[in-house]
Amino acid sequence: MHALLTMSNNHSRGDGYQPARAARKDQKLATRLKRPSTPAIILTMSSQTSTPLRIVLLPNPEMPKALQLAGLIGDRLSDAGAAVSTFISQTSPLAPSPDLSGVDLVIVLGGDGTLLRAGHLCAPLGIPLLGVQAGRLGFLSELTESSWEAALPRLLAGDFHLEQRMMLLAQLIQDERVRGEWDVINEIVIARGRIVRPIEVRVDLNEGYLTSYIADGLIVATATGSTAYALAVGGPILPPELRNMLLLPIAPHLSLDRAVVLAEGASVVLRAQCDHEAVISVDGTDPIRLNENDAVRVTANQHSLKMVRFGERNYFYRRLATVLHDNPALKQNHHD
């Protein structure tokens, strides 16, 4: 268990300074990044994005490297004049969430799982995320242990672009009433439970019958999720800027075995029909058991996941090639 800790004494200014949240295009923000034998750097506000002045760091508390990087990055940003705080989360599902009111940017330190959890906090508030890889798999992260230092001047100058990724809204319908709803970044899965037998999943599209699957389950994914679980079961890879919904069965038996790509405006209703356990899971979280006659409605979300990017806009394909060539998720060295 990790205690809740908001580190503001070392990472925030104590002189009563209140930084402005907006600036003219020609306004210049002078900051000093402390480096040995390095002169002061003058950072200029971008006309495209505004400089993040209040920043929260969210490291994965179970990764020592993430905690170490949070300290280094926090000190550097604080020296440059930003108001920075670090939130060390607890592992309990009932643990409190960080107060993100008035925050300009959240920097996430960890792997893709850490970034997904932070995305669920930030997307409804419209707060951009910047991922720094500290885990095995950092496909969604923008920076690494070796690149973050060079990127900070560009971050504080507003020299970056925001990538907006489509999210889904999943609603659990019981007795024609919404009993629960979730924001979806990667995918929602409806699947069999502990009993190893397939289930039947009926799919209605825009209030009309589409098809039924006999399978271990069905994935409804975003373009972001097309490189996650959907990729593992043979789905297509969608570029992150696409605003589409992807339907993909898991181990189908005598059923449609191809992925179906739907438009952003689609409304999909899923119903599991079986005499044993069926569950749903959102972005890999703990499964929720479905009752008989339950339905799951999936639509486009009004919120988007905003991610800070520094590189060229075709970065996705270069990173994809690197990940597929040398899978960083492997725990064992394949050369052994």
Residues with catalytic annotation? 112
Beta bridge partners of 212: 202
Can you read off the two tokens belonging to residue 251?
């181990």
Euclidean distance between CA atoms 165 and 246, whole angstroms: 14
Q: Are 235 and 248 in contact (CB under 8 A)?
A: yes
CA gap 114, 139 in Å, rounded? 12
Q: Are residues 200 and 272 in contact, defined by beta-carbon separation less than 8 angstroms? A: yes
Q: Are 246 and 220 in contact (CB under 8 A)?
A: yes
If you ran DSSP here, which 8-state letter would residue 190 be given? E
57 touches 75 (CB < 8 A): no
Q: Is 170 helix (H, G, I), strand (E, B) or coil?
A: strand
The answer to whether residues 245 and 301 touch, using CB atoms and an 8 Å cutoff, is no
Which residues 6+ apart lie within 8 Å of 81 measured at CB?
13, 19, 29, 31, 53, 156
Task: Give the end-to-end CA distance of the chain in Å, rounded to a whole number.
Answer: 35
Coil, strand, or helix at residue 72?
helix
Any idea how long the chain is?
336
Query: Measuring CA to CA, which residue among 21, 306, 37, 53 is closest to residue 155?
Result: 53
Q: Distance between CA 336 and CA 117 in Å, rounded?
A: 34
Nearest CA among 64, 122, 82, 86 for reference residue 308: 122
Under 8 Å between Cβ of 135 and 113: yes
Which among 273, 314, 89, 278 has a CA at the least distance from the CA of 195?
278
Q: Give the three-state DSSP class for 192.
A: strand
